[in-house]
A = this chain, B = another copy of it.
């Protein structure tokens, strides 16, 4: 992270803007709103912290921009029939390829951060719950959407929480085998 010293970054406003957005997204997916510092993001990009405030106005608006930028549609573009399998795999073997869950992780980490709460709620409803509910369809779609989202986030939390209790490879497979049909059943209704 931060190759600023070796590569001084060409003077390109649009590129640095998206670089900031990218770095911020990664940070916000790993830590909560308050924990992510402007100076951290700036260091990742190789830029002065002041520039971020300059481009985005404030930390709050930067956060909003991150949420607007990446939406939660990644969950829904795979095959319906393999949803449970895919998600279970991401959950158990993540966060190696957390791209699918990144958006959900950002919500998760910063839910309950007073300054970010309203932004998160709005983004969660408009950017995730509503489209996901529609994608699900069928009976009690809103409820199933909430339960699925809850499980995805909850297992992700549990991963952080039980850091020391590593599972053996076969246990991972068993956990996956437990989660996949559970999630698939919720998708199918």
Contact = CB atoms under 8 A, between A and B. Distances in A.
Interface of A: 31-32, 34-35, 107-109, 111-114, 117, 120-122, 124-125, 129, 140, 142-144, 146-147, 149-158, 160-165, 167, 171, 174-175, 178-179, 182
Given A129-B165, A154-B155, A164-B125, A147 B112 contact: no
Given A31-B112, A32-B112, A113-B35, A174 B124 contact: no
Among A31, A35, A144, A171, chain B packs the most CB atoms within 10 A around the CB of A35
A45 to B, nearest CB: 21
Nearest to A176: B143
Contact of A157 (B153, B162, B175): B153
A185 B154 CA distance: 18
Nearest to A105: B112
Q: Is the interface of A mostly helix, strand, loop or mixed?
A: helix
B161 A154 contact: no
A45 B174 CA distance: 47
A150 B158 contact: yes
